Structure 1
């Protein structure tokens, strides 16, 4: 299966080249995503668009076309990661990566090794998660101090909703036992009243100023690294959530310079909201980078108990989670976005968070009639994660409507702790891809990388198998919420295209559409579930350009 240690092998494939070629692709099963003609034998590409799809016997003359032999690999419409953090994917490759750490001790050994290799400056890292650790606890400042004495260390939990800071970092930020957490945040404290080092959600901002500000060259290299990783996985595009507003010009410059091999659909941080609304959607390099959405946060994450619930956490009855914004703050912002023709994507994980966002969406939509919106009724607003939803609230997604942007791998990771957090009854509305899609709700599949590994094969497997990578499902983990393979394919192809207003150009293999294509070594539509995450991408094509090919 695709893990961090295998990434170097993936990246050994053919690098991105901006040189477009007219192609004829054959030699393996081809799945078009078109219900009336689901399979084909040959695909031809001319001038970056699909010019023929169908039987080999009926194919036009291929003279002048560059042949691409699939060698048995299966071809699909280009896979799009419907929710990822492109900058974080790149920085994961350039900073301390604690993904896969097996214990507190293992994570701290990695920190100590990094500190020795990088003796100067703050240490920044992410990727740790305690739910599988034998110690069964969060990291603390004391752990960091022992591994990297005297150093400023900031290590983000895998979900990005909590950071553990060393004592030196806490001191530098002026955090002590008397420090009060900001609204929407929590400073964990021990029995002695002193901070443990763990800062949750909004409290993370207390130490944000300690992280070194990357210079433009370093930021550009992080995006290059992110592009390399995503192309090697087989993604042809990414919906970039919480795209830093300050980085939008850089991404646009990269696209215009031919340095953006994949499509990027930006949902920007709130600091860019006013300017984006005033200026309207941005589109450069023939749609290679589009910016037309704003990302807000309603609550936190389940793992760090920041997701907002109606009832207390089953394993910590003193809390119901943390709302990050209020109705009075957010609804006027939503109304402004409606009038400016800007899409809204709001992070909501807990059942209270999701219900609140649905209510706020409805309030804004009622306040701004369709006649006052550039997009009319076609606003396509999204809830990012939609992780825990009361079944009685499913109808809100269908009726408003709301796009449910969900990440299947969360369910196969969270199955190890979500029952303890939620209790059994609330699992009825947890990770409910099937229930929502069965109601006609558009369910966009994504990875949330670098929170998760970010591999499309893991995401597809999670959607159809609803088991972790070892095959474990656990007792009554609502197996009925797994989706069929055809639905899973839409989640990563046609439905992300719809969510970015591009279903007429992307999402299926049809004549006239842009030639965004992904081939995998495993046939996702027929292979045993357990074989799916063992495969790898063999070909990634964007606008007819081969941006990755396995050697």
Structure 2
């Protein structure tokens, strides 16, 4: 049984009433009547005027008078002037990394090695010789367009970084995780020399003379980060709690953690057992880890009846990214094709074996595919594994393609026929808009980040953040999805605005459709009787507000409990 340390909203008020002389049987602390708000339920039918919550679940929606009669002892919470909607389901995120980022140098927005050095000096002024310095957030897409005199493969060398910090090993993770920078001290610690061979699925960028430049692409990063000390179990748990707390503050009540490693699973399970998860987690195991998957295929999915920690999906990393030119394309990259290194991080036969085991054991497949050829390959693999066999048609599988960023002309029809879910990130479109067309040209770009095209073809879409990296808060995601503009409103009119979706579609993709993608739509994702009382209180109505990004989150509730300060409760 989960030992909750938080109290339902209104508990203090209810106790005060009891101690003040009200009859004990007239007050039920576990019952709350929410009134006054504008309700967005994500269900069909007229909006209710009130919501009754009992024992953490929604038991009725209707008029205030009718619900008062139903439970006259319910504690009243008046949210007049506010909007209440289901909690956001962030259906593809990296909570562990979000929490651990507090230990890293923030490099988001740094556009040169000089800027990176300035950030390190500012944020790690007390680094002692020999200390590792870890950073995160330099944009591999922007850096891969570098054309300075020391450019190699589109990237600058890290020579200046080595000169500035000769005694500190430095490892810098990129914004989307497909490249890394390291200075000479870090390369030495990792045993990476000019003669180190490229690992399968990775590239060590080298100068024309054969010198390792300090830039590592895709799986070559493992050579570096295997040398970086791992966080302790306590640090990992603290990072997860910190990350989940930040999500709760932003209005997220459920998150799909993409690519859990063995240590991550243990940390999440320990936190769930101790009742310390502030929001719900749906675990997606790292399918590229063969040993991990063997263990889970043997033991089966984890299904928590209270929905705090379910583990039921396999996240497979297939190709790379457009920014680093490691995504797998049908035709060459339009800009600098000689610098491209298309990379398969796992073989297609391995993907198909995982898919077959997933079908047999009931796990959901969720495969990272960016390039149009990569998406085509995964579609073909899924078509083979989801075809009817001697046992009949495949049951409700809800398999997913993560990103579906650049696709072939027939992708939408094929994906719709398979009932595949396209898991997409509006922030990626806007973050990549400065260089994406350069990578693939004016013809192919019209089939990139193509939300409306997929929706019109009947492909279910879910929107999520893929945090950390690009702006990830839900109202930012909603803004990107519906305007195709950056946070500052540029470009005017939107970047390929025909691919924008309307606000209701976007909100569904961030709530009930996200819950559906985790087989949780009977318990989460909308405001309906019988579901958990997971909801967010907003300063304005996201369906009608003139400025979506100005909307603030005033409270986040999970199972009827108000979550603030990383999981503490307040009346």
**1:95 maps onto 2:104 in alignment:** yes
Q: Which residue of 2 aligns with 1:30?
A: 39
How far residue 256 of structure 1 moved from its aligned partner, in angstroms, is: 2.2
For 1:217, what is the secondary structure of its paired residue? Answer: helix
TM-score (norm 1): 0.91
Name the SS of the counterpart of 1:60 in structure 2. helix
Is 1:72 the equivalent of 2:81?
yes
Distance 1:107 1:331, change over 3 A: same
Q: What is the match of residue 201 of structure 2?
A: 184
1:105 corresponding residue in structure 2: 114
CA contact (8 A) 1:80 1:493 kept: yes
TM-score when normalising by structure 2: 0.88
Question: Per-residue deviation at 1:180?
Answer: 2.6
Alpha carbons 1:398, 1:439 under 8 Å: kept: yes
What displacement does 1:55 show? 3.1
- Pick closer, same or farther for the CA change 1:45–1:352 going to 2, 3 Å: same
Query: Of 243, 251, 258, which aligns to 1:241?
Result: 258
For 2:219 and 2:458, the matched residues in 1 are separated by 35
Q: In the alignment, which residue of structure 1 is the partner of 2:161?
A: 144
Q: Who is 2:514 aligned against?
A: 496
Measure, in 1, the Cα distance between the counterparts of 2:216 and 2:491.
Answer: 31
Is 2:326 aligned against 1:306? yes
Following the alignment from structure 1 to structure 2, what is the Cα–Cα distance between the partners of residues 364 and 178?
41
Q: Does 1:19 align with 2:7?
A: yes
Separation in 2 of the partners of 1:209 and 1:474? 44
Query: 1:198-213 counterparts in 2 under 5 A?
Result: 198-213=215-230
Q: How far does the alpha carbon of each residue in 1:299-319 deviate from its partner, in whole angstroms, 9 at most, with x for none?
A: 011111111111111112223
1:384-533 mapped onto 2 (5 Å cutoff):
384-473=402-491, 477-528=495-546, 531-533=547-549
Match of 2:311 among 287, 291, 305: 291
The answer to whether residue 133 in structure 2 is matched with residue 123 in structure 1 is yes
> CA 1:54–1:147 in 2, change beyond 3 Å: closer, same or farther?
farther
- Checking the alignment, whether the CA contact within 8 Å between 2:171 and 2:225 is kept in structure 1 is no
Distance 1:475 1:71, change over 3 A: closer
Q: Partners in 1 of 2:494 and 2:472 — Cα distance?
A: 26
CA distance in structure 2 between the partners assigned to 1:350 and 1:275 by the alignment:
31
Q: Find the counterpart in structure 1 of residue 360 from structure 2.
A: 339
Deviation at 1:537, TM superposition (A): 1.3
Q: Equivalent residue for 1:9?
A: none
Is 1:52 matched with 2:40?
Answer: no
Cα distance in 1 for partners of 2:165, 2:505 equals: 48
Distance in 1 (alpha carbons) for counterparts of 2:210 and 2:452: 45
SS at match of 2:337: coil
Residues 370 and 377 in structure 1, CA contact (< 8 A), matched pair in contact too:
no
On the 8 A contact 2:322/2:436 being kept in 1, the answer is yes
**Aligned residue in 2 for 1:6:** none
- Cα 1:252/1:523, change in 2 over 3 Å: same
Structure whose CA Rg is larger:
2
549, 559, 562: which one aligns with 1:543? 559
Contact 2:542 2:551 in 1 (8 A): no
How many residues are aligned here?
A: 530
Q: Is contact 2:366–2:399 with CA below 8 Å preserved after alignment?
A: yes
Q: Given the superposition, is the C-alpha separation of residues 509 and 369 from structure 1 closer, same or farther in structure 2, using an over 3 Å criterion?
A: farther
Alignment of 1:259-408 (within 5 A): 259-270=276-287, 271=289, 272-284=292-304, 286-318=306-338, 319=340, 321-366=342-387, 370-371=391-392, 376-408=394-426
Q: Shift in Å at residue 240 of structure 1?
A: 0.4
Residue matched to 1:155:
172
Structure 2 spans left out of the alignment, 5+ residues: 9-29, 148-153
The aligned residue for residue 84 of structure 1 is 93
| Alignment gaps of 5+ in structure 1 | 1-15
C-alpha spacing 1:474/1:142, structure 2 compared with 1 (3 Å)? farther
**CA-based RMSD:** 2.3
CA contact (8 A) 1:256 1:285 kept: no
Instruction: Note if contact 1:17-1:545 (Cα within 8 Å) is conserved in structure 2.
Output: no
